């Protein structure tokens, strides 16, 4: 939904600023109708361009063998669950990848440099720390996710939008010019959920995080539509979290009106982070399933089971030699449907009962017809895969936590008291070395011996 045009935009100085978005000015003596038409045309152009560009906005990035990837964002990225899942996915699916993923998200930040009047202390601008935090890592790929805080929880306003636009464009310029990144992936902001809106200041006189605008998701939607237009630029790729998660949430609420992805309206829960990971993984060429095609039952912080709502047309080659699974809390991330080579059983009827085992563990009972149609691996309990995936994900999350805390301490005010034993450089190095060993072992492909028994 596009925003209503605020009358203040029609003031002379603001009109001039608005029209500079197209690179030229018009005289302030235009008629009011002419100005309204011009402003509306600009907005329509943004929305129309974003609709067209959306067809190519999901262009993917190929991760090279030694690529370093940096996730750059606000508190949603600082939370980091989706970052952990993406690295687990990449480690398991790309045994040749020897790079790293780093989390450089900090809460409360914006790219716009804006803050609410009652936000104490004022919101920091992420651009102020860019030089310190990104170029030293020498990233090949920067994944940026900002926007939730940039509208400062207000209705849409052109001046706030321009501040966000300028911040995003500055981030892109510095990513290529200063950090020397090869590609930048922009993730549109996750949705704001008005059903979960929290108002901590019931006497607030202005909108803000403590009293958010009820329809703030419309503001984020307009920001997201503009972000999609940036995919026209070379080496800039846009993953539309906002639309995908909005649509997915709407479908779930057709069955369960209380279903939510963000308990406080802003910060995604585990399911929300899992959906974010799906989009980010697709942008990194790790999978092809759209978020909209995924169904996750339940409404808790834990994902118990994930499966696709339809047979996904991508299969595992050489399934008996290399089979990988993904883990999120107590369930698997979606894997492709598996279609075995059943040519030797062509003469058997579809209703013939079969038993499928993996490394001598029974994992499925059904009919030959079902197997011919393809079965979804995430629905199967495959002990060696589940154990391996759990250990890999846990090690990745533990390493991220240690590295992130050490990074934050590196620029925090120095304490007079000595560091805790586990926070000394030697202890940190030892912990990270142990986790690196675990990760390298657990990321290895699992050899599965599949046996189909006719019954």
2 inside domain = no
Boundary-marking domain end, from 248, 265, 300: 300
Q: Which residues make Cβ contacts (< 8 Å) with residue 449, sequence separation at least 6?
A: 320, 358, 359, 360
- Listed residues 15, 32, 55: the one ending a domain: 55
Which of 247, 279, 300 is a domain's end point? 300
Q: Is the peptide bond before 121 cis (omega within 30 degrees of 0)?
A: yes
pLDDT at 288: 53
Shared domain check, 196 and 98: yes
Q: What is the domain-level CATH number for residue 68?
A: 3.40.50.1110
To which residue do tokens 């995003």 refer? 168
Task: Please give the pLDDT value at position 320.
Answer: 29
Q: Which of 277, 150, 135 is nearest to 209 (CA)?
A: 150
Same domain, 47 and 89: no
Whether 264 and 321 map to the same domain: the answer is no
Is residue 384 located within the same domain as residue 279? no
Q: Are strands 361-367 and 353-358 parallel, antiparallel or unpaired?
A: antiparallel
pLDDT recorded at residue 448: 65
Structural domain total, the chain: 3
In 10 A of CB 279, how many CB atoms?
A: 24
pLDDT at 170 (0 to 100): 98
- Where the chain has pLDDT below 70, the residues are 1-58, 287-344, 374-386, 446-450
CA distances for 24 relative to 19, 94, 164, 182, 407, angstroms: 6, 48, 20, 31, 44
Same domain, 97 and 208: yes
Any domain includes 161: yes
Distance CA(75)–CA(106), nearest Å, equals 5
CA distance 147 to 238: 13
186 and 92, same structural domain? yes
Q: Nearest 5 degrees, angle CA 293-CA 297-CA 299?
A: 120
The Cα 399–Cα 188 span in angstroms is 27
Specify whether 342 is located in the same domain as 260. no
Q: Is residue 1 part of a domain?
A: no
Distance, CA of 245 to CA of 189 (rounded, Å): 10
pTM summary value:
0.76
Tell me if 417 is assigned to some domain: no
Cα gap 395→390, rounded to integer Å = 9
What string of DSSP letters covers 77-125?
Answer: HHH-HHHHHHHHHHHHH-TT---EEEEEE-TT-BSS----TT-SSPPPB
Q: How many helices (H) and strands (E) does the chain have?
A: 12, 14
pLDDT of residue 5: 36
Look at strands 450-454 and 375-376 and give their pairing.
unpaired
Query: Is there a single domain that holds both residue 113 and residue 23?
Result: no
101 and 39 assigned to the same domain: no
What is residue 418's predicted lDDT score, i.e. its pLDDT? 87
Residue 238 domain-assigned (yes or no): yes
CB-based contacts of 437, cutoff 8 Å, min separation 6? none
Same domain, 287 and 435: no
Residue 208 — φ and ψ, nearest 5°? 170, -175
Q: From 340, 394, 391, select the one nearest 81 (Cα to Cα).
A: 394
* pLDDT of res. 313: 25
Q: Is residue 415 part of a domain?
A: no
pLDDT in tens, 152-207: 999 999 999 999 999 999 999 999 999 999 999 999 999 999 999 988 888 888 99
Structural domain containing residue 379: 304-410+422-455
In a domain, 71, yes or no: yes
Residue 97 lies in a domain: yes
In this structure, the number of other CB atoms found within 10 A of the CB of residue 365 comes to 12
Residues 62 and 181 in one domain: yes
Report pLDDT for 363.
80
Q: 185 and 234: one domain?
A: yes
pLDDT for residue 343: 66
């Amino acid at each position: 939904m596009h925003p209503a045009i605020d009358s203040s935009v029609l003031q002379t100085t603001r009109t001039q600023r608005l029209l500079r978005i197209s690179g030229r000015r018009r005289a302030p003596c235009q008629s009011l109708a002419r100005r309204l038409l011009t402003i509306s045309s600009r907005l329509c152009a943004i929305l129309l361009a974003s609709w067209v560009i959306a067809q190519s906005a999901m262009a993917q990035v190929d991760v090279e063998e030694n690529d370093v990837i940096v996730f750059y964002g606000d508190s949603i990225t600082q939370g980091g669950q989706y970052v952990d899942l993406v690295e687990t996915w990449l480690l398991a699916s790309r045994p040749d990848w020897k790079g790293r993923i780093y989390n450089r998200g900090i809460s409360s930040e914006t790219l716009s440099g804006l803050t609410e009047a009652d936000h104490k202390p004022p919101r920091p601008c992420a651009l102020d720390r860019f030089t310190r935090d990104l170029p030293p890592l020498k990233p090949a790929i920067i994944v940026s996710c900002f926007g939730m805080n940039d509208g400062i929880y207000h209705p849409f306003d052109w001046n706030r939008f321009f501040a966000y636009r300028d911040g995003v464009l500055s981030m892109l310029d510095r990513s290529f010019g200063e950090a020397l990144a090869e590609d930048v992936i922009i993730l549109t902001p996750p949705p704001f959920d008005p059903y979960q809106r929290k108002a901590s200041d019931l006497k607030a006189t202005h909108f803000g995080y403590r009293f958010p605008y009820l329809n703030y998701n419309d503001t984020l939607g307009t920001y997201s539509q503009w972000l999609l237009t940036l995919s026209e630029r070379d080496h800039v790729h846009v993953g539309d979290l906002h639309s995908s998660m909005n649509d997915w949430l709407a479908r779930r609420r057709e069955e369960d009106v209380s279903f939510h992805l963000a308990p406080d309206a802003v910060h995604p829960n585990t399911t929300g982070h899992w959906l974010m990971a799906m989009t980010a993984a697709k942008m990194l060429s790790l999978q092809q399933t759209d978020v909209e095609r995924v169904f996750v039952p339940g409404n808790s912080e834990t994902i118990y089971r994930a499966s696709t709502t339809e047979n996904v047309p991508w299969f595992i080659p050489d399934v008996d030699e290399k089979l990988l699974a993904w883990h999120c809390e107590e369930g698997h991330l979606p894997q492709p449907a598996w279609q075995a080579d059943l040519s030797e059983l062509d003469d058997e009827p579809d209703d013939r009962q079969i038993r499928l085992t993996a490394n001598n563990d029974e994992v499925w009972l059904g009919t030959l017809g079902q197997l011919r149609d393809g079965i979804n691996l995430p629905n199967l309990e495959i002990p060696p895969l589940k154990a391996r995936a759990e250990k890999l994900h846990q090690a990745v999350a533990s390493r991220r936590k240690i590295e992130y805390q050490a990074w934050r301490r590196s620029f925090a005010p120095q304490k007079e008291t000595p560091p805790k034993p586990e926070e000394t450089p030697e202890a940190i190095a030892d912990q990270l070395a142990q986790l690196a060993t675990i990760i390298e072992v657990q990321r290895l492909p699992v050899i599965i011996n599949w046996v189909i028994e006719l019954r």
